Structure 1
Amino acid sequence: MSLVRDLRVALSFLSRLSPARTETPEVMARSLRAYPLAGLVIGLAATVPVWLGLLHGRPLPQGIAVVILSAVLTRGLHWDGLMDLADAWGSGARGERFFAIMKDSRVGAFGVLGCVAAFATQSALLAEVLAENAFGVAVFGFVLGRFAAVALAWRGKALARPGLGALALSGATPGALWFAGLCTLAAGLVLCPAPALFAGIALAAVCTAGLYALARVQGALNGDFLGAAIILSETALWLGYCLTT
């Protein structure tokens, strides 16, 4: 299967940027290696309006616009995962009760708080990034976020829980991890200053390790964990930039 097809499948699953089609589980699993490339496309689509002058001179509204547009482009998929995980974690439940809360379509207080906190933090950090015209850094956050999902899927493959997330985890081979990692590193070296790149990667690694530790405690890992890894690692990259500039 070509990389172009993998990218198309990844985009159709992770965003609105490619028409949704019915694919076999094997095809869906193989597309995991293209997640960082899908993040690059999503990041470009979310930031180009600002780069072209939308809300020029108003970095905070620009940051808010990028976060909102990215959520629209991804159908809120990763934000939903973050909220579900926040609700389940905040409840203090364990095992099957933890996942029952996560699966509940109703959003609780911890889900709302988690979403609001992440949205506000991303908007504020992006405002700082965009105020310095660091559009490459803004874009690269979306790449690193999707790589974090690949890394967590690979590390937690043995904890796979049935569902859409299990498709991604089944594709988390060492080859997919290496390919996604090389794509991410190459994009980072082009788009991001070295201090911010390595600080962001380190912070994203901490977030991803924390999610893996939580999955081990709960005995399983699903797609909501991957969605949370994406949002948290996007935030980590932009925080890394702000801490090193």
Structure 2
Amino acid sequence: MVEDEMPGRPAEDASLSAARVVADAALCVRFFSRLPLPRLNRMDDPDRAPEFSRSSHAAPLAGMVVGAPAALLLLLLSFTALPPLASAALVAGLLAAITGALHEDGLGDVADGFFGGATVERRLEIMKDSRVGAFGALTLAAAFVLKTALIAGLLTRFGAGAAAVLLAGEALSRWAMLTQWQRLPSARPEGLGTRFGRPDAGQVLLGGAWALLGLMAALGVAPFSTVILGAACAMALAHLTSRLALAKIGGFTGDVLGAVQQVSQMGFLIGLQLLAP
């Protein structure tokens, strides 16, 4: 009787694992975006507090889900006569709207805090302030213009394939965020890492596999060398941002993680377009 049941166990375990991945991805989507996901399976609880020590690996998968509406819009606009810059501006705006400008807010707060305060305590105080200062406003304006121009460049170079490249950047930038989240100490004892946990090396490794899945989509439309260069630029900028955070405030905050996602996303798009087609 036991022998008859044994063949069914691997399939059952695989089903449970798949359900857990879906639940973890849904948790990350709800936390990092405004998308109203219903309960997806019995392991998914929309009211559960995040447990990033267990579920953060799914952030790259969530990035692709969060970026899917913008990628679809980019795909549709690629078949119109709308100028690439206009199409790109609409797509960049939609990306920000889907997340409630969560990561953009982090980038602006980091710019204000890091360059507007003279001490660690003052920088952290500025970063908690909901008001946007001059450094933050200038950084956000420059980032939006740059992102729009880069997405327009994707349209010009890859046409409809730009949508796949955009999704790859959404996945990779979330993995870049995970790598720095795991490496840096928390700058605030009461901050994100303390309240909801943080990824360990295993979570980062598994998240890298999901990010690689996204990069495979980009490899379907872009040369291998450009995708690798884009990934290298993304990770280099993520590392530089985390080193700056360590020097300025002694570690990470939620704002720093948002900034890492933004700069690595733009780094990926920059690297992809550094070489001539």
What is the TM-score when the length of structure 1 is the normalising length?
0.91
Given the alignment of the two structures, is residue 118 of structure 1 paired with residue 149 of structure 2, yes or no? no
Compared CA separation, residues 101 and 4, structure 1 to 2 (3 A): same
How far apart are residue 196 of structure 1 and its match? 2.2
SS of residue in 1 equivalent to 2:209: helix
Query: Separation in 2 of the partners of 1:201 and 1:61?
Result: 26
SS of residue in 1 equivalent to 2:77: coil
CA contact (8 A) 1:29 1:171 kept: yes
Q: Kindly provide the amino acid, as one letter, of the partner of residue 145 in structure 1.
A: S
CA contact (8 A) 1:29 1:170 kept: yes
How far apart are residue 95 of structure 1 and its match? 1.1
Given the alignment of the two structures, is residue 179 of structure 1 paired with residue 209 of structure 2, yes or no? no
User: Which of the numbers 63, 68, 72 marks the counterpart of 2:93?
Assistant: 68
Structure 1 segment 21-40 matched on structure 2, within 5 A: 21-26=46-51, 28-40=52-64
Compared CA separation, residues 168 and 214, structure 1 to 2 (3 A): farther
Segment drifting more, 160-169 vs 30-39: 160-169
Query: Separation in 1 of the partners of 2:226 and 2:192?
Result: 30
Query: Separation in 1 of the partners of 2:174 and 2:195?
Result: 12
Query: Percent identity, aligned pairs only?
Result: 34
Question: Which residue does 1:215 correspond to in 2?
Answer: 245
Compared CA separation, residues 25 and 34, structure 1 to 2 (3 A): closer
Given the alignment of the two structures, is residue 49 of structure 1 paired with residue 49 of structure 2, yes or no? no
Query: Separation in 1 of the partners of 2:118 and 2:230?
Result: 31
Aligned residues: 243
Q: Deviations over 1:168-225 (max 9, x none)?
A: 8833111110001111112202323322221122111221111221222222310001
Q: Kindly provide the amino acid, as one letter, of the partner of residue 273 in structure 2.
A: C
Given the alignment of the two structures, is residue 90 of structure 1 paired with residue 115 of structure 2, yes or no? yes
Query: Separation in 1 of the partners of 2:152 and 2:252?
Result: 33
Compared CA separation, residues 167 and 39, structure 1 to 2 (3 A): farther
Question: Which residue does 2:13 correspond to in 1?
Answer: none
Segment drifting more, 35-44 vs 70-79: 35-44
Q: Kindly provide the amino acid, as one letter, of the partner of residue 47 in structure 1.
A: A
Compared CA separation, residues 14 and 127, structure 1 to 2 (3 A): same
Structure 1 segment 83-232 matched on structure 2, within 5 A: 83-131=108-156, 132-133=158-159, 134-156=162-184, 158-163=185-190, 165-166=192-193, 170-192=197-219, 193=222, 194-217=224-247, 218-232=249-263
How far apart are residue 19 of structure 1 and its match? 4.0
How far apart are residue 56 of structure 1 and its match? 1.9
What is the TM-score when the length of structure 2 is the normalising length?
0.81
What's the Cα RMSD here? Answer: 2.0
SS of residue in 1 equivalent to 2:167: helix
Unaligned runs of 5+ in 1: none
Q: Kindly provide the amino acid, as one letter, of the partner of residue 257 in structure 2.
A: L
Larger Rg: 2
Q: Kindly provide the amino acid, as one letter, of the partner of residue 149 in structure 2.
A: A
SS of residue in 1 equivalent to 2:100: coil
How far apart are residue 18 of structure 1 and its match? 3.6
CA contact (8 A) 2:167 2:214 kept: no
SS of residue in 1 equivalent to 2:188: coil
CA contact (8 A) 1:12 1:18 kept: yes
Segment drifting more, 207-216 vs 234-243: 207-216
Which structure has more RCO (C-alpha within 8 Å, separation ≥ 6)? 1
